[in-house]
Amino acid sequence: MTKPEINQTFSLKIDAIGSSGEGIGRLEGYTLFVDGALPGEQVHVRCIEAQKNYGRAELLHILEASPDRVKPPCPLFGTCGGCQLMHLSYQKQLETKRQRVIDALQRIGKITEVEVPPCLPSPSPLSYRNKIQLPVKNNPEGLAFGLYAKGSHDLVEVSSCLIHCPMGEEIYREVRRLTTKSGIAAYDPLTGEGDLRHLLIKSAKVTGQALVIFVTASSKQGRWTALAEQIMAACPQVKGVVQAVNKQKGNRILGQQFHLLAGAGHIHERLGDLTFKVSPASFFQVNPEQAVLLYAKALAFAELEGSETVLDAYCGVGTLSLFFAKQAKSVLGVESVPEAIEDAKENALLNNIHNVSFVCAQAEHYCRALSAIDVAILNPPRKGCDELLLKELKRLRPKTIVYISCDPGTLARDLGLLRDFGYEVEKVQPFDMFPQTAHVECVVKLKLGG
């Protein structure tokens, strides 16, 4: 294995794609990651980082292009860090995501016996995202709203984004104009001056409602109230404007303190035949059309007959719990975020569903008090399930586990452990929840072995 020198240039064959969308090539056995390169391409690169076992190289020229390479429709592709695969045909994006799931299952989970079908495409490869979340900085013209360049805190100004839904984009243009005109300054972490840190816009495609959230460094409301009233007058879709106060340093976006500036502090959205409350801090799927298809697949995998007791660990605002409650005897949702549990309870009342209950607790600890469940739903964050929870499921022995994952690596790790506990992986279905990015979601069905 030969490690290249920094700034050394050479030709490289790209033979794979990484979990962050970068091309992967090998120089005499030494692994190199190349942003912007695609499998099958011969590229000319410059080494910019050389660790012991891997390095990174800058793409200088494409010597032989992949037939799957397309011209990115966004002029900011390669500069903005939001999308990683926009230069790859959509069909090949789906194939790449399926292969990523297969590789993780085989390499990490040692799972080779289950067939992984094609990744289900998003109904909309563009204009699907119902949430706009942009950091803000000062510039000579006033304010710059944008996204961070990959691997940095350098702001790339974004006037429009092709993956944002049209309603959100329309509101964003007006909010950006009014906020810049107001004279409000962005927060500068070096000097402590200014106030505005982030702008969030949550849009409900079905109900046509939107919520605007300003993340500020102070709790002062004077100019914010006046701006909120202007936004409400200019944008009829906006049902509320909220100030989220975050005085802490670090990468966390929302703080713990919220002030209603105008209108309502939440909106409503429909998924299938259910209605959900969407609050400033609550998690809600950003691709709702695809989310409905994913939830339907999860429900089908559970094969409920109406007599089952269901545990929904990591239940969030109760989305899956309420979908499952329509076909189960009872559902118990467990979530560690108090605000999410309050929203989940409201969502149950909103939909007149009474065979579901919600508890604010860590699922791995709360499950110790349970004696029996028939079906478990696991929908953890990217880091996967807590091992203590999986050990509790080993004790509870639900006949079926439906695992929804947003990270193939942690999914494969957890499936390997559940298999050691006596479960068989029966079905796997990848979903493209985030087109143009490297992310892939999966729904998995596990059955308790004989």
Give the CATH number for residue 14. 2.40.50.140
Residue-wise pLDDT for 98-133, tens only, equals 999 999 999 999 999 999 999 999 999 999 999 999
Give the Cα separation of 187 and 192 in Å (integer). Answer: 7
Q: Are residues 328 and 392 in the same domain?
A: yes
* Mean pLDDT of all residues in 177-190: 93
In a domain, 71, yes or no: no
User: Which residue, 78, 68, 6, is CA-closest to 39?
Assistant: 68
Q: Point out the domain boundary residue: 271, 297, 318.
A: 271
Of 64, 80, 104, which residue constitutes the final position of a domain? 64
Average pLDDT, the chain: 95
Q: Is residue 54 part of a domain?
A: yes
191-238: pLDDT as tens digits: 889 999 999 999 999 999 999 999 999 988 889 999 999 999 999 999
Count, residues in the chain: 450
| Domain shared by 292 and 423, yes or no | yes
Helix (H) or strand (E) holding 86: none
On whether both 416 and 399 belong to a single domain, the answer is yes
Q: Give the rounded percent of residues in the chain with a pLDDT score beyond 70.
A: 99
pLDDT confidence band for 149 (50 / 70 / 90): confident
Among 411, 405, 393, which residue's Cα sits nearest to residue 443?
405
Domain assignment present for 393:
yes
Same domain, 261 and 326: no
Residues in CB range of 93: below 8 A, 6 or more apart: 85, 432, 435, 436
210: domain CATH number is 2.40.50.1070
Is 432 found in the same domain as 302? Answer: yes
In this prediction, residue 312 has a pLDDT band, given cuts at 50, 70 and 90, of very high
Residue 17 pLDDT exceeds 80: yes
Which member of 80, 235, 385, 406 is catalytic? 406
Last residue of one domain, picked from the residues 238, 271, 304: 271
CB-based burial, 166-182: b 16+ in 10 Å, e otherwise:
ebbbbbbeebbebbbeb
What CA–CA distance (Å, rounded) separates 279 from 211?
Answer: 8
d(CA 208, CA 229): 19
pLDDT band at 1 (very low <50, low <70, confident <90, very high): low
Same domain, 117 and 146: no
Q: Starting at the edge strand that comes first in sequence, how are the strands of the sheet with 155-157 ordered?
A: 155-157, 142-148, 131-139, 196-204, 209-216, 238-245, 257-263
What is the spatial distance between Cα 421 and Cα 397, in angstroms, rounded to a whole number? 9
406 is catalytic: yes
Map residue 216 onto helix, strand or coil: strand
281 within a domain of the structure (yes/no): no
Q: Do 426 and 312 share a structural domain?
A: yes
pLDDT band with cut points at 50, 70 and 90 for residue 2: confident
Asked if residue 48 belongs to a domain, the reply is yes
Name the β-bridge partners of 429.
Answer: 443
Same domain for 235 and 321:
no
Determine the pLDDT at residue 219.
Answer: 87
Between residues 249 and 41, the one the model is more confident about = 41
The reply to whether 300 and 443 lie within a common domain is yes
Q: Range of 159's domain?
A: 131-271
Let me know whether 98 and 137 are in one domain: no
* Cα-Cα-Cα-Cα dihedral sign, residues 146, 148, 153, 156: negative
| Residues 439 and 296 reside in one and the same domain | yes
Query: Residue 341 falls within a domain, yes or no?
Result: yes
* The amino acid at 368: R
Domains contained in the chain, number: 3
Distance, in Å, from the CA atom of 298 to the CA atom of 226, rounded to the nearest integer, reads 45
* Residues 317-330: tens digit of each pLDDT: 999 999 999 999 99
Considering the domain architecture, whether residues 324 and 427 belong to the same structural domain is answered as yes
